[in-house]
Amino acid sequence: MDLNPDKAFSIEFQPSGLRLILDEPTTLLDAARQAGVMLRADCGGKGICGKCRIQLFSDLVDYPPSLTEESHLDHASIDAGFRLACETIAHKNIKVFIPTDSIIEGQVLQVDGRLRELNIEPSVRRISVSLQPADLKDLRSDLARIKIFLDRDDLSADLNVLRIIPRILRQNQWSADLMVLDQKIIAASAPAKEKTAGLAVDVGSTKVACYLMDLESGKLLAARGTPNPQIAYGEDIMARIAFALQSEQNAKKLQTMLFDAINRTSQTLAREAGIESTQIADVCLVGNTAMHHLFLHLPVDPLAVSPFVPAFNEVLYPKADELGITAMPGCGVYTPPVIAGFVGSDHLAFLLAEGFGEDQRTRLGIDIGTNTEIALQKGVEIVSVSTASGPAFEGAHIRFGMRAAPGAIEHVTLDNNGFAEIQVIGNQEPIGICGSGILDAVAEMRRIGMLNSRGRIVKEFMGVCLDGNGKPYIQLSQGSQPVILSQNDVDQILLAKGAIRAGIDVLMDHLKVHPEEIEEVVIAGAFGTFMLPEHAMRIGMLPELPLDKVHAAGNAAGAGARMMLISKSARARAENLAKQIRYLELTVYPEFPMFYAKGIQS
């Protein structure tokens, strides 16, 4: 890019110190993206979410606040130089400070998850061969020689491998290491006693969890989560699909970011484990349907408009290098089936990891997110729904909402007057509140009667404050920037939990299950780990059940992906499970509106 030196100006981002030179007016959000600063923009830069708060160090006269900024920021903040990056246009040298809570990083990433006992039987195995050299009395082809040595007449080989096998054999006294996937030789190399590794990946909208596994022992070599960098183009999937649909280039960009994140993380993991990325001989990848489609370069437009049907829901096993994943040449990427437009292979992996379909217990599996996927098993039937719960439990649409990151209030108790006692991640000054804290706050408000049956904050409590318009809120922390929870925030939570409860109720109605018949509820994800089940029941998100029936599954989708990576029978089970799971579309279920209305109130 040739800059016009007469118009060039610089933007410096603090505290990272990243600098960018531009020659035309640009919003600070776009500039941050170009500079690689991971600035939050949950709404995708539309001026709605107010999360891209930054502080200007410059003459503020040049940056009068917009109406949007005035609606998101108080006067004191505006005077102190706070603006929204999406609303602020840089046109000359400027220094910008990014507050911690505007940065996408340092989230508490949970890469664990229960891994059930299973036999180590990877699809890809390293096999060493040491052949009799060809001579005029033994003119079998190289491949025939390998088949006879291994006594496997079923073997075939990728064309790319056939192209290199003759040279490898002849340069290594007729020995070689072969990587064999089922009946196919997918890679060949000079003999070496190297570890054979596999990579399991759970691509979430928010984070990408990567697990490097030893394919021979089935042991975890290293694991790491990284934020999904696509988040810079919108917190929710629809914003990203909309971005992808604007141009082929945009779609490509989202894909490239994702591959870069996976490759970067897997390289870090390989380094930690003391191996090379090229020792990765197999990959298993799960994700929601949009991530799955973006990952496989499948068109996402059918996912953007009703009726939201996926292109297909089969297993695919493309080559890693065709997709852009760094691994051993010939390595495949096993992608198990998605279930529906809003029920992905991560849901399948979750249910696999939790043993759905293996017994006939009556149980619920819930993965809470912007879309919450819920499965109900009864006997041999498993029915799944996706409910648009919104991102409230992930901190979005909540004024002080944030992800489970340092500075987030994760637990709240209220005394009888409604004054809060809080627990903050990282034991630091609170800067916001995350899902489990929000759940606590609302449940506690309900417990002490501060929330009436219609979901209104009862103003008579001492702990309730009123804003300039007489609207009630509660203050969760003290100091110059107290974290507060307003009537509007409470409304968001009630809508979210109502959507989840309606999904559960529809499933119970559809399969004729009574709450007391439910033998287990498993809740996936960080929210499931940190939330208090009694609070989820108190606000009516879950039906009333004995507490010991509710279990957190951690990153169960990741656990399922790891199982499929190291075990062929887990893959077979997942493929059967995918056929067993029936998707139910809530919006056409006649009683859904009734359940939803009830869910919001209860």
Site residues, a second copy (CB under 8 A)? 134-144, 156-157, 159, 162-167, 170, 296-299, 301-302, 306-314, 316, 318, 340-341, 583, 585, 587-588
Q: Give the nearest distance from C-beta 58 to a second copy in angstroms.
A: 47
Smallest separation (angstroms) from a second copy to the CB of 317: 9
| 123 contacts 331 by C-beta, under 8 angstroms | no
CA 583, CA 503: separation in Å to the nearest integer?
Answer: 12
In whole angstroms, what is the distance from residue 353 CA to residue 356 CA?
8
Read off the tokens for 221.
């070599």
Q: What is the CA radius of gyration of the chain?
A: 27
Closest approach of a second copy to the CB of residue 388, in Å: 14
Cis bond before residue 307 (omega within 30° of 0): yes
Shortest CB 575 distance to a second copy, Å: 12
Strand 332-334 with 280-287, pairing? parallel
Contact 394, 42 (CB under 8 A): no
With contact defined as beta carbons under 8 Å apart, do 531 and 439 qualify?
Answer: yes
For 124, list phi and psi in degrees, rounded to 5: -110, 130
Task: Tell me the C-alpha distance between 36 and 22, whole Å.
Answer: 14
> And the tokens for 561?
């992906």
CB 303 → a second copy: shortest distance, Å?
Answer: 9
CB of 287 to a second copy, least distance (A): 16
The answer to whether 423 and 476 have CB atoms below 8 angstroms apart is no
Residue 243: which of 288, 203, 287, 294 has the closest Cα?
294
- Cβ closest to a second copy, residue 254 vs residue 524: 254
Give the residue with the Cβ less far from a second copy, 92 or 297. Answer: 297
Q: Which is nearer to a second copy, 206 or 313 (CB)?
A: 313
The Cα–Cα gap between 341 and 306 comes to 10
The residue (of 42 and 158) whose beta carbon lies closer to a second copy is 158
CB of 560 to a second copy, least distance (A): 21
Q: Classify strands 420-424 and 184-189 as parallel, antiparallel or unpaired.
A: unpaired
Q: Which CB sits closer to a second copy, 301 or 429?
A: 301
Of 193, 161, 177, nearest to 129 by C-alpha is 177
DSSP category for residue 415: -
**What amino acid occupies position 374?**
I
To a second copy, the closest distance from the beta carbon of 319 in angstroms equals 9
Residue placing its CB nearer to a second copy in the complex, 105 or 301: 301
Question: Would the CA dihedral through 173, 177, 181, 186 be positive or negative?
Answer: negative
Question: Shortest gap between Cβ of 288 and a second copy (angstroms)?
Answer: 15
Which residue, 143 or 594, has its beta carbon nearer to a second copy?
143
Compute the least distance from the CB of residue 144 to a second copy, in Å.
7
Residue 354 tokens, joined: 């939790």
By C-beta, is 299 or 449 nearer to a second copy? 299
Q: What does each C-alpha distance from 323 to 122, 310, 320 come to in angstroms?
A: 22, 19, 5
In angstroms, rounded to a whole number, what is the distance separating the alpha carbons of residues 409 and 306? 37
Query: Nearest distance from residue 141's CB to a second copy, in Å?
Result: 5
Residue 592 C-beta-side C-alpha neighbours within 13 Å? 15
Burial class (CB within 10 angstroms; exposed 0-12, middle 13-18, buried 19+) of 149: middle
Cβ closer to a second copy: 133 or 426? 133
Pick from 135, 144, 270, 127: nearest CA to 197: 270
Distances (CA, A) of 127 to 327, 395, 414, 524, 586: 18, 49, 62, 38, 49
Shortest Å distance, C-beta 369 to a second copy: 20
Q: How far is the CB of 563 from a second copy (least distance, A)?
A: 23
In angstroms, the CA 254 to CA 231 distance is 10
Q: Cα–Cα distance between 521 and 547 in angstroms, integer?
A: 10
- Cβ nearer to a second copy, comparing 166 with 406: 166
Measured from the CB atom, the residue of 156 and 217 that comes closer to a second copy is: 156
Q: 10 Å Cβ neighbour count for 502? A: 27
Nearer to a second copy, 26 or 335 (CB): 335
Q: Given the complex with a second copy, which of 165 and 542 has the nearer CB atom?
A: 165
Q: Which residue, 373 or 394, has its beta carbon nearer to a second copy?
A: 373
Identify the CA nearest to 555 among candidates 223, 75, 231, 103.
Answer: 223
The least CB distance from residue 338 to a second copy, in Å, is 8
**15 cis-preceded (ω within 30 degrees of 0):** yes
